[in-house]
Amino acid sequence: MLLVGVLLLAWGMAAQTLAGFILGPIVAGIGQGIAFRAGLGAVAAASPVQHKAAVVSTFFVVAYVAISLPVIGIGLVASVLGLQLTGLLFDALVALLCCVAMGLLLRRPAIKTG
């Protein structure tokens, strides 16, 4: 869903259409929320009980830094390239990262249960 949302947002910015500009972030936000929840669940499940609080809080610190740094970078790049081009480049980068993550997840061996 994150990839679809990012592509919708890029379409909205490139075509200057309100539908893509509004729908894209909604879909991307849902996808990002799903990914965040899955990541947090995986980290919590893999951490030892006696260190679970420290590990989960570290996950949140890393997540907040990972959300903040791109915003600062976008602001700096936008002052040079312009807001629309910067947004499209950022969308392309996020779409590429989504594809890489999807490829890595598909190559991972299946987890056997039971």
Mean pLDDT computed over 23-44:
92
Q: How far apart are CA 60 and CA 87, in angstroms?
A: 25
Confidence at 105, pLDDT banded by 50, 70, 90: confident
Phi-psi region of 111 (alpha: psi -120 to 50; beta: other; left: phi over 0): beta
The answer to the question of residue 114 being in a domain is: no
The answer to the question of residue 113 being in a domain is: no
The answer to the question of residue 33 being in a domain is: yes
Confidence at 5, pLDDT banded by 50, 70, 90: very high
The answer to the question of residue 41 being in a domain is: yes
- Indicate whether 111 pLDDT > 90: no
- Residue 9, Cβ neighbours under 10 Å: how many? 25
What pTM was computed for the model? 0.78
- Indicate whether 23 pLDDT > 70: yes
Confidence at 61, pLDDT banded by 50, 70, 90: very high
Mean pLDDT computed over 92-102:
92
The answer to the question of residue 60 being in a domain is: yes
List the domain range (segments joined by +) for residue 84.
Answer: 2-107
Torsion sign, CA atoms 77, 82, 83, 85: negative
Query: How many domains, in total, are found in the chain?
Result: 1
| pLDDT score for 40 | 92
| pLDDT score for 108 | 78
- Indicate whether 32 pLDDT > 80: yes
The answer to the question of residue 90 being in a domain is: yes
Q: How far apart are CA 12 and CA 16, in angstroms?
A: 5
